[in-house]
């Protein structure tokens, strides 16, 4: 029995290490593009769904207005999702600078207000290229021009771009930044290997006609989340090989980590809830395999108190996991100009085991709170 258990545990360990090798190859397959100056011609719509964001939304608007992309080719649409604070008022104050405000006014409850907001923005937009970000994000002045430059010169139908946390105020937030870097780089690496899996809606661009070609959010509108990854997978099915990741520092969007554990777990529960809707079931199978690997690591850690053999098995798994994750994350953190974060991996790795198992269990079994609403 122990021999069978060992084979299963080591097989899952091997699977996880192979996945990490695959991610490392994918990351290095993504070359940083050299974007030469061009005469832009693409009409772009920047769209932002916002709900109760009065604290930071002005900063986001100012950053978007400060972009060096031609103003006559830029359309900015903010969609207010039933805010109960000053969000709409703040957006409206920028009307003279070309910022458009749409306000949702749904008479029936929805489970996916954000998808509705994005769909409305796209329906009323004049742009060819839709560029989505969030209402609490910051970006440099070359953010939009770098995305459109890549779009015009390489002609992808969809572009996922990097997102990272910044302005951390605690160890907890720094740990989140490192873990989030892993998630963003994982999505990038899959694209680098010519297979789209995940992305982040805080920095996401796609052609308007392609959005309608795949039916928009039809078929995925029963989940509150998924305006990014589930749309990505719909497009990947129609346009394999035409999805890109823009590995460029100028294209990075910055946002903030969650201030407390409750907010963090709610966010990760929301992200995990999308997994059952993935069109690529191989991705789902890999996720299940990684989850089982972490489950066995946790079991081995617990059983180590009763039998030294389980401790040896856990040590083999943990050391392998740590070394290969470091090999993956070192170049990623360097790209983000945050190489100092890699030192936190020794803390994150054991915590990640427990957190991953927990989120995997509750991600598809419980409702969660998002923007003041209880959703699924």
- The residue extents of the domains of the chain are 32-169+197-257
Which residue numbers in the chain have pLDDT < 50? none
* pLDDT at residue 223 in the model: 74
CA distance 82 to 104: 6
Identify which of 26, 357, 338, 327 has the alpha carbon closest to the alpha carbon of residue 177: 338
CATH superfamily of 32-169+197-257: Spore Coat Polysaccharide Biosynthesis Protein SpsA; Chain A (3.90.550.10)
Residue 101 bridge partners (DSSP): 78
- The helix (H) or strand (E) run that includes residue 174 is helix 171-192
Identify which of 331, 18, 26, 24 has the alpha carbon closest to the alpha carbon of residue 191: 26
At 271-327, the pLDDT tens digits run: 777 766 676 777 888 888 999 999 999 999 999 988 888 999 999 999 999 999 999
* pLDDT at residue 371 in the model: 60
98-137 residues labelled b (16+ CB within 10 A) or e (exposed)? ebbbbbbeeeeebebbbbbbbbbbbeebebbbbbbbbbbb
Give the CA dihedral 301, 307, 313, 316, nearest 10 degrees.
80
Residue 373: burial class (beta carbons within 10 Å; 0-12, 13-18, 19+): middle
4-30 residues labelled b (16+ CB within 10 A) or e (exposed)? eeeeebeebbeebbebbebbbebbeeb
* pLDDT at residue 367 in the model: 63
- Angle, helices 261-272 vs 345-362, to 10°: value is 60
CA distance 123 to 216: 10
Determine the distance from the C-alpha atom of residue 355 to the mean position of all C-alpha atoms in its chain, rounded to a whole number: 18
CA distance 210 to 155: 13
């Amino acid at each position: 029995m122990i021999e069978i258990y060992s084979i299963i545990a080591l097989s899952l360990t091997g699977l996880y290490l192979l996945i990490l090798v695959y991610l490392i190859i994918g990351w290095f397959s993504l070359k940083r593009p050299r974007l030469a100056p061009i005469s832009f011609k693409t009409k772009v719509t920047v769209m932002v769904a916002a709900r109760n964001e009065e604290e930071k939304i002005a900063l986001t608007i100012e950053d978007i207005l400060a972009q060096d992309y031609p103003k006559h080719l830029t359309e900015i649409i903010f969609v207010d999702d039933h805010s109960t604070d000053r969000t709409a008022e703040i957006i409206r104050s920028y009307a003279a600078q070309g910022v458009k405000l749409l306000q949702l006014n749904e008479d029936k409850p929805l489970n996916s207000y954000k998808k509705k907001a994005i769909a409305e923005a796209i329906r009323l937009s004049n742009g060819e290229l839709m560029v989505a970000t969030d209402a609490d994000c910051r970006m440099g002045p070359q953010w939009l021009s770098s995305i459109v430059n890549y779009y015009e010169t390489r002609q992808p139908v969809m572009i996922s771009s990097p997102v990272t946390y910044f302005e951390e105020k605690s160890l907890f937030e720094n740990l989140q930044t490192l873990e989030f870097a892993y998630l963003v780089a994982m999505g990038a690496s899959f694209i680098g290997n010519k297979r789209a899996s995940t992305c982040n809606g805080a920095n996401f661009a796609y052609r308007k006609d392609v959005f309608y070609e795949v039916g928009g959010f039809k078929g995925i509108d029963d989940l509150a989340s998924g305006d990014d990854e589930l749309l990505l997978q719909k497009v990947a099915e129609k346009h394999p090989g035409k999805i890109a990741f823009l590995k460029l520092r100028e294209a990075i969007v910055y946002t903030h980590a969650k201030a407390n554990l409750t907010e963090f777990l709610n966010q990760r529960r929301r992200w995990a809830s999308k997994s059952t809707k993935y069109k690529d079931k191989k991705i789902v199978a890999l996720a299940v395999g990684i989850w089982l690997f972490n489950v066995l690591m946790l079991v081995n850690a617990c059983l180590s108190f009763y039998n030294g053999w389980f401790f040896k098995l856990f040590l083999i798994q943990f050391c392998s996991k740590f070394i290969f994750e470091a090999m993956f994350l070192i170049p990623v953190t360097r790209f983000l100009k945050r190489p100092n974060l890699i030192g936190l991996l020794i803390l994150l790795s054991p915590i990640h085991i427990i957190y991953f198992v927990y989120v995997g269990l509750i991600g598809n079994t419980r409702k969660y709170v998002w923007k003041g609403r209880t959703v699924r």
